[in-house]
Amino acid sequence: MRAPDTPVIVKGEALLAVENVSLRFGGVKALTDVSFDIRKGEVRAIIGPNGAGKTSMLNCINGFYHPSEGRITFKGETRRRMRPFEAARGGIGRTFQNVALFKGMTTLDNIMAGRFLKMRSGFFWQLLRYGPAMREEVEHRRFVEDIIDFLQIQHIRKTPVGKLPYGLQKRVELGRALAMEPELLLLDEPMAGMNLEEKEDMSRFILDVNQQYGTTIALIEHDMGVVMDLSDRVVVLEYGRKIADGTPEEVKRDQRVIDAYLGVAH
Ligand SMILES: Nc1ncnc2c1ncn2[C@@H]1O[C@H](COP(=O)(O)OP(=O)(O)OP(=O)(O)O)[C@@H](O)[C@H]1O
């Protein structure tokens, strides 16, 4: 992650390209021949009715699933298979539909855990907190404290995350993903289960991450108001196929999208 005073990067060049991706689970076609790109610096939404293939798409992008066909190019490197660990190392961060945090650990430790990928000294030295590991930990801790300030969660830094309300847990999860300094951040329903005020807070943090740190964001979201407010471009999936791709204004007017959301049979 870059410092907050870094100038916003120019949106344009493709950071990630998905080409003709299909994914099957036995007889179920989760994705069929899907192509789209995510440009550097943009907020890209992936929307669609339940079961449209949105989470499957994110899982292909970060290596949880391997597409049955097609290819994915990230930062100019094309691949058919990648493991989630490699994706994270390569600069793809992720949050999940259901919060995936260490519930017994504090906010601070959860976010530090996200920083682990960035640590140079081995796990052994980290455990001993000795020598190079000690110095490194101080640096990483400073970085993590900056994230805690940025997300305005200082008051819960020592609280076990299992004790926090859901909206704050989602914010901690965002912090953990940011600790990896991702170039591309994948957010799977970041506002799910939140009340209006929590949604407004989360929307502001997502925009701040995008604008202040220049992080490219791809998000799945069901709340159309949020999607229209936050995103630069929207890709729409239905039954595993792409049915529309464009600015929020364009997809909102698209008849196939209107039909998909109203449940009109094709
Ligand atoms: N691991 C799996 N095994 C078998 N089928 C799966 C698996 N994951 C997803 N599917 C199927 O693939 C299709 C797409 O599912 P996916 O979860 O990607 O959709 P989604 O758009 O994210 O849905 P939702 O909005 O409900 O979360 C569905 O028919 C689903 O049942």
- Examine the domain organization and report whether 1 and 115 are in the same domain: no
Q: Ligand 1: list residues with CB < 6 Å.
A: 25, 28, 30, 48, 50-56
Question: Token pair of 105, please?
Answer: 């650990």
Please give the residue range of the domain that contains residue 174: 101-180
Residue 118 is predicted with a pLDDT of 62
Report the atom number in ligand 1 closest to the C-alpha of 53. 18
Phi, psi of 191 (to 5 degrees): -105, 5
- Cα 55 to ligand 1 centre (Å): 7
In a domain, 54, yes or no: yes
Six-digit token string for 135:
């110095």
Question: Residue 132: what residue type?
Answer: P
Instruction: Specify the pLDDT at position 129.
Output: 57
Q: Say if 76 falls within a structural domain.
A: yes
Q: Whose CA is nearest to atom 4 of ligand 1?
A: 25
Whether 36 and 77 share a structural domain: yes
Nearest to residue 171, comparing CAs of 193, 187, 153, 184?
A: 153
Q: Give the residue whose CA is nearest to atom 3 of ligand 1.
A: 25
Ligand 1 centroid, distance to 220 Cα (angstroms) = 13
Cβ atoms 220, 188 nearer than 8 A: yes
**β-pairing verdict for 92-95 and 77-79:** unpaired
Identity (one letter) of the amino acid at 131? G
Q: Are residues 168 and 105 in the same domain?
A: yes
* Dist. CA 163 → ligand 1 center (Å): 30
Indicate whether 9 pLDDT > 50: no
Residue 25 CA to ligand 1 centre (angstroms): 9
- Opening angle at CA 167, ends 53 and 231, nearest 5: 50
Both 75 and 5 in one domain: the answer is yes
CATH number, domain containing residue 51:
3.40.50.300
Look at residue 96 and tell me if it is in a domain: no
Q: Is the separation of the CB atoms in 95 and 192 below 8 Å?
A: no
pLDDT (0 to 100) of residue 128: 54
Q: What is the pLDDT of residue 140?
A: 82
Q: How far apart are CA 191 and CA 194, in angstroms?
A: 6
Q: Which atom of ligand 1 is nearest to the CA of 59?
A: 18
- Could you tell me if 130 and 67 lie in one domain? no
Residue 249 has a pLDDT of: 92
> Are 121 and 135 contained in the same domain?
yes
Tell me the percentage of the chain whose pLDDT exceeds 70. Answer: 85
In this predicted model, what pLDDT tens digit does every residue of 39-79 receive, in sequence order? 999 999 999 999 999 999 999 999 989 999 999 999 988 87
pLDDT tens column, 92-115: 998 877 667 778 889 998 998 877
The pLDDT, as a whole number, for residue 122 is: 54
- Closest-CA residue, ligand 1 atom 26, reads 50
Q: What's the CA-to-centroid distance between 29 and ligand 1, angstroms?
A: 9
User: Cβ distance 257 to 251 under 8 Å?
Assistant: yes
Residues 37 and 116 in one domain: no
Low-confidence winner among 26-40, 117-131, 210-224, 227-241 (lowest mean pLDDT): 117-131
Residues 6+ apart with CB under 8 A from 247: 232, 233, 234
- Of residues 31 and 81, the one with the higher pLDDT is 31
The answer to whether residues 112 and 135 belong to one domain is yes
Q: Residues 14, 142: one domain? A: no
Å from CA of 23 to ligand 1 middle: 10
**Given the structure tokens 């400073």, which residue do they identify?**
142
Residue range 210-217: average pLDDT? 93
Is residue 254 very low, low, confident or very high in pLDDT (cuts 50, 70, 90)?
A: very high
Give the domain-ending residue among 128, 160, 180. Answer: 180
pLDDT on residue 260 = 86
Is the domain of 4 the same as that of 86? yes
Q: How far is the CA of 58 from the centre of ligand 1 (A)?
A: 11
Mutational test site, ligand 1, from 34, 46, 55, 189, max ligand atoms within 8 Å of CB: 55
Pair 173, 206 in one domain? no
Single out the residue in 180, 198, 230 at which a domain terminates.
180
pTM of the model: 0.86
Give the mutation target among 54, 94, 187, 227 for probing the ligand 1 site: most ligand atoms within 8 A of CB.
Answer: 54
Any domain includes 234: yes
Q: What is the position in ligand 1's atom list of the atom closest to the CA of 57?
A: 18
Single out the residue in 134, 149, 180 at which a domain terminates.
180
Residue 66 lies in a domain: yes
Are residues 1 and 85 part of one domain? yes
- What total of structural domains would you count in the chain? 2
HSE-up of 80 (CA within 13 Å, CB side)?
Answer: 3
From the CA of 144, how far away is ligand 1's center (Å)? 34
Q: Is the pLDDT of residue 133 over 90?
A: no
Instruction: Specify if 24 maps to a domain.
Output: yes
pLDDT of 4 strictly over 50? no
